[in-house]
């Protein structure tokens, strides 16, 4: 099924923006230009859209609060907005950044935002004076930002290849130093939570190096692997999924910890920029530079002692959406 959605189109940023998220209430949010569209993840019915109503700025990141229907939105002019999707209204605007807000991550009521100028702001969304802490990462663009599952550590990745691990204190100031700094050869575009595993850094050679608990980072510069454009952790199977660029523009599934390629999903004509997993872990949502968003469904699964895992051969592309100008 292919539909046309009236949007300004997808920004082909190769992983420098974070514009797809799927929450525990089974709502999918995708940012396209100055608007964000919300779908029911089960029925794929559009239920809401929000718009910045501006021709000069765009939505550069978004993130659902872990519990509830509050959506955080970062913009190209440095603003962070909070939207209540259930009540269909904007809750507040939070200022402080001077450039594109490309990454957002929640820690309960603390929202962390990273900008293209290298600053990370902590916002306490409960109070009027929301800006409660600032971190600085060498004035390089923040490409990725993620709190650990335990909310004890914050990881940030930047365009100069630096992966920093920070303490959880939201009141930390600019002068604060990270707990650990891990250098890479190119931009750290993706950070994922990996349950109780250690950090696995999947570099472009598809080798695995273990780091501190809870994070996965991925690089995409080496020619030997072509281009990794997106990254997803599959908790039920303890596997890693990557969205690829040329030559195949497919999604690959890698076994952990060996990083052996176990399966591939084809359906996009250009690089796969973003991937999200449903709360029940039975569906995938991918967005590619070809302007197509695809929903992938696992029709068959097995349960043994309450443990469900994907049967990869059963994952099928069941819906597609044309993301471009036009009427739905």
Question: In 3D, which of 206, 308, 214, 319 has the Cα closest to residue 252?
Answer: 206
38-71: buried (b, 16+ CB within 10 Å) or exposed (e) per residue?
Answer: bbebeebeeebbbebeeeebbbbbbbbbeeebbb
pLDDT tens, position by position, 203-262: 333 333 434 334 445 543 334 345 788 888 888 888 888 888 888 989 998 887 777 888
Mean pLDDT on 162-167: 86
Please report the pLDDT score of residue 136 as a whole number: 84
How many angstroms separate the CA atoms of 112 and 328, rounded? 35
**Hey, what are 236's tokens?**
């039920």
Mean pLDDT on 267-289: 89
Mean pLDDT on 270-283: 90
Whether the CB-CB separation of 27 and 69 falls below 8 Å is answered with yes
DSSP letters for 163-190:
EEEEES-TT--TT---SEEEE-SS---E
Please report the pLDDT score of residue 20 as a whole number: 94
pLDDT tens, position by position, 57-106: 999 999 999 988 999 999 999 999 999 998 889 999 999 999 999 999 99
How many angstroms separate the CA atoms of 231 and 268, rounded? 16
Whether the CB-CB separation of 236 and 187 falls below 8 Å is answered with no
Average pLDDT along the chain: 77
Specify the 3-state DSSP secondary structure of 312. helix
Please report the pLDDT score of residue 78 as a whole number: 95
Can you give the C-alpha Rg of the chain in angstroms? Answer: 19
Question: In 3D, which of 182, 232, 191 has the Cα closest to residue 211?
Answer: 182
DSSP state of 18: B
**Hey, what are 259's tokens?**
């990083």
CATH class of residue range 2-324: mainly beta
Distances (CA, A) of 158 to 41, 66, 131: 31, 24, 21
pLDDT at 314 over 70: no
Band of residue 46 on the pLDDT scale cut at 50, 70, 90: confident
Dihedral in degrees, nearest 10, Cα atoms 46, 52, 56, 58? -60
301-308 contacts at long range (C-beta below 8 A, 24 or more positions apart): 307/236, 308/236, 308/281, 308/282
Question: In 3D, which of 184, 190, 177, 178 has the Cα closest to residue 160?
Answer: 184
How many angstroms separate the CA atoms of 293 and 98, rounded? 31
**Hey, what are 271's tokens?**
């690089």
Band of residue 48 on the pLDDT scale cut at 50, 70, 90: confident
Question: In 3D, which of 130, 93, 128 has the Cα closest to residue 111?
Answer: 130
Mean pLDDT: which of 41-45, 80-84, 318-322 is highest?
A: 80-84
Question: In 3D, which of 74, 41, 19 has the Cα closest to residue 277?
Answer: 41
pLDDT at 309 over 90: no
């Amino acid at each position: 099924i292919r539909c046309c959605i009236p949007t300004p189109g997808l920004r082909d940023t190769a992983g420098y923006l974070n514009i797809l998220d799927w929450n525990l209430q089974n709502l999918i949010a995708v940012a396209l230009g100055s608007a964000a569209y919300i779908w029911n993840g089960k029925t794929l019915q559009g239920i809401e859209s929000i718009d910045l109503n501006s021709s000069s700025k765009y939505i550069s990141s978004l993130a659902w609060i872990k519990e509830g229907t509050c959506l955080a939105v970062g913009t190209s002019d440095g603003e962070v907005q909070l939207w209540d999707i259930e009540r269909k209204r904007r809750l507040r605007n939070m200022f402080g950044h001077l450039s594109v807000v490309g990454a957002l991550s929640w820690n309960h009521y603390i929202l962390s935002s990273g900008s293209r100028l290298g600053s990370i702001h902590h916002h306490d969304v409960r109070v009027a004076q929301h800006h409660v802490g600032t971190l600085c990462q060498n004035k390089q663009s923040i490409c990725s930002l993620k709190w650990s599952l335990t909310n004890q550590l914050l990881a940030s990745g930047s365009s100069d290849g630096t992966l920093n691990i920070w303490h959880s204190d939201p009141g930390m100031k600019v002068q604060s130093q990270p707990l650990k700094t891990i250098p890479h050869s190119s931009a750290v575009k993706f950070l994922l939570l990996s349950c109780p595993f250690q950090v696995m850094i999947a570099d472009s050679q598809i080798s695995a190096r273990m780091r501190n608990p809870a994070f996965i980072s991925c690089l995409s510069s080496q020619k030997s692997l072509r281009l990794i454009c997106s990254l997803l952790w599959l908790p039920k199977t303890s596997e890693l999924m990557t969205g690829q660029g040329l030559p195949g523009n497919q999604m690959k599934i890698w076994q952990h910890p060996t990083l052996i390629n176990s399966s591939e999903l084809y359906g996009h004509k250009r690089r796969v920029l973003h991937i999200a997993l449903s709360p029940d872990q039975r569906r995938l949502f991918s967005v590619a530079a070809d302007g197509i968003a695809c929903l992938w469904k696992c029709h068959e699964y097995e349960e043994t002692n309450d443990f469900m895992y994907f049967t990869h051969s059963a994952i099928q592309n069941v819906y597609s959406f044309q993301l471009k100008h036009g009427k739905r």
